[in-house]
A and B are shown apart, each in its own frame.
Chain A
Amino acid sequence: MSNNTKALDIRQVPQGRLAMWTLIAGELIIFGGLIAVYLLNRIRYPEWGAEAVHTSTMFGAINTCVLLLSSFTIVLAHNEANKNNIKRAQLYMFLTIVGGLAFLCIKSIEYSREISEGLTFTSPAMVAKGEGVKSLFWSFYYIMTGLHALHVIAGMTTIFIIMMQIGKGKNIHRVELAGMYWHMVDLVWIFLFPLLYIAK
């Protein structure tokens, strides 16, 4: 077998990683499609910029920081798992879950502020004023951030299950796979943050 042929042998890639990259490519289409439709509407309705003023850049920035730090802790967990330092890997995974919880808490504070101001799905107050197009912004906002929050919960659950499994010496290679999923969640937020919180 020539070197070139060997370099192209996909069988060298662990199956778990291959499956996870396939999942990530699928998620990319889901979130990418949603973001593309949002962008098309944003271009069409410049008044959405005035609606984005109501989102809190400070909360968004804190959440970005939290997710970046949790991405760092999960990659450290993977590093420690590779060295068979199971206790340390579990500690970093626990910190990642704490990061996810902090993210959800901050997001729920944001949601409660926005909902109390009447900024909701198809906001009745806006529709009554003939500003239904503006309420469409909030529909996109809640769908995109809500879908992202569901992925955060899924990621936390996965990390928790794997954290328990590696304590019994099982499925240590899955720490990296859970980490890849968590990084994907982080990536989506990195793009949602300027889109919803900065571009006003």
Chain B
Amino acid sequence: MEHKFHDNGSVVDPDVKTDYHGHPNYFRVLIYLLAMLGISLAVFEFHLPVNIAITIVFVVAFWKIGLVVRNFMHLRYEHILIWVAVFAAVFILLVFFLGVFPDVPMVHREVVPKY
């Protein structure tokens, strides 16, 4: 078997897959992420109704998560079954959340023991 060598003389690991996926413009992604952080900090300076401000902040958070997962974690280049595995986890969480959510307004606060 023919080996490749690093500059320091060590053997290049044959398991390395250098061309498994593409590489987006990471610097541009970072600029977007920092700009969105700025938006989520500035949104409360515009004196919007609280519900709208909070909605904007969480939409921006999800957008940031999407940017990191797609570009930094390279999910955009990934196999379809990896997408299925990730979204299955999200789906299970949603089922859990929506399944428990109706109990929150239904139970009176007085039922909860005081500390």
Contacts and interface: CB of A to CB of B under 8 A. Distances in A.
Interface in A11-29: 12-14, 17-18, 21-22, 24-26, 28-29
A36 interface: yes
Interface stretch (A95-103, A111-119, A149-157, A184-192): A184-192
A86 B73 contact: no
B68 A183 contact: yes
Judged by DSSP, the binding face of B is helix
Nearest to B60: A194
A96 B89 CA distance: 28
Chain B CB within 10 Å, residue with most, of A18, A75, A168, A173: A75
Interface string A58-75: 000100110011011001
Contacts of B41: 57, 61, 198
Interface of A: 7-8, 10, 12-14, 17-18, 21-22, 24-26, 28-29, 32-33, 36, 39-40, 43-44, 57, 61, 64-65, 68-69, 71-72, 75-76, 79, 81-84, 86, 122, 127, 130, 132-133, 135-136, 168-173, 179-180, 183-184, 186-187, 190-191, 193-194, 198-199
